Amino acid sequence: MSDSFDVVVIGAGPAGYPAAIRAGQNKLSVACIDEWRNRDGSYAFGGTCLNAGCIPSKALLESTELFHRAQSEFGTHGIKVGGVSMDVAAMQKRKTSIVKASTAGIVALFKSAGVTGIQGHGRLLPGRKVEVTAADGSKRTLQAKHVVLASGSTPMELKSAAFDNQHIVDSWGALDFTSVPRRLGVIGAGVIGLELGSVWRRLGSEVVVLEALPDFLAMADQQLAKEALKHFKKQGMDVRLSAKVTGATIANGAVTVRYTDAKGEQSIEVDKLVVAIGRRPFTKDLLAEGTGVELDERGFIKVDHECRTGAENIWAVGDAVRGPMLAHKGKEEGVMVADLIAGQFSEVNYKTIPSVIYTAPEIAWVGQTEEQVKQAGRAYKTGSFPFLASGRARAMEATAGFAKVISASDTDEILGVHIIGPMAGELIAEAVLAMEYSASTEDLQRTIHAHPTLSEALHEAALAADKRAIDFPNR
């Protein structure tokens, strides 16, 4: 096996493996190194997203949503079911099989693109050399013309609630519960915390979410955030804002969590505690001295707009660099870098990266929030349309939420789109495409949408921006 490559990628997560595949498609010789280890010690490509994040969490969300619907909605359809119960072991087995199929898929994709997959720890050395340490401790050194750093991220720890990986766990641990906790505590009301809380709440767990910030989903449009909080509370999720955790003690198989809020010192007792306060770049033992690659004060690898580091022909992508820690953002960066290495034009439009929270209802947005537009001092207009007025949503009995369009008053260009409701994560793609091409609300208004579909909500929201909505009174 050759130890010299055109491109060596360190990391086979959602940023690294697309970079490797695209480089292979560009007829470059490529090696992709990854150190992910499953709980049984086996290696697997795909990174956190595929093995312990995006994919397994969606598998559990799908299973538990079906369980919830069987309990609460099937009867209205005339479907009679009795004694509905959840076999957690079977649910987890399904999740695991989905993950294994996906990781096997990456191996097949590597083979198709001519990528050499290498399992072990990759470390960048000076001179574009990469040291690979295998599980048995043996080492080999690869030489590359270009190196792409895609080392990903890892869950942030909270000193006052340290992981013991049994009672106090990270997001991976919360995906592997073998039974439903009677009471579940979640620190952090972000994307991960809300999705994991939703999984176990649907199965009957009492869920308490402790969020240190005073605002719920502060990064989202606040009209959207308020609507979301209303629905989470309706589902029985106990969300406590301005709740700063000061300590956690494990005793007699339970966790006592101490926190402060506006009323002073408080405490709750839970069976399991999930710490979901965000993620930090994973750069442990990634860089040897003298590589010329720099980290910023938060540990992110410093890069320019094309993901070039300060060292010649060394690139970095994904969660290890600035910007939102989103798999699709990392994927596009990986593809961009592989094309740039091959001498092709490529870029990432960071203004049109969508965000999605896969709860029920789903939450998705792209572009600026109304608060951001106001702060910028720009004249704007908004239009919104409730799913309650959507024929398809009514047929699905999924009428919670709305679609909202924000556009500039002077140019009519769409500045942001915010959706909470059924299939919001799918619907947002139309808005992303529209904004990628600087579309106006009129462009959306003149685009024919099939009837009856959920996508009509976005069409009607665009019409409402000019008080021309058909299926809901204009305001």
Per the document, the length of the chain is 475
Strands (E), 134-198: 139-149, 153-155, 168-169, 183-187
Q: What is the DSSP letter of 440?
A: B
Instruction: State the Cα–Cα distance between residues 117 and 252, nearest whole angstrom.
Output: 46
Helical spans, DSSP H, in 273-369: 327-341
Crossing angle of the two packed helices 191-202 and 54-72, in degrees rounded to 10: 40
Q: Name the active-site residue from 167, 305, 451, 459.
A: 451
CB distance 460 to 444 below 8 Å: no
> Are the beta carbons of 472 and 439 closer than 8 angstroms?
no
Residue 148's nearest CA partner among 18, 327, 252, 52 is: 18
Residue in 392, 397, 464 with CA at minimum distance from that of residue 427: 392
Q: What is the largest distance, in Å, between two alpha-carbon atoms of the chain?
A: 70
Asked if residue 214 has a cis previous peptide bond (ω within 30° of 0), the answer is no
- The values of phi and psi at residue 409, to 5°, are -65, -35
> Which of 360, 435, 464 has its CA nearest to residue 58?
360
**Catalytic (active site) residue 167:** no
Q: Which residues are catalytic?
A: 451
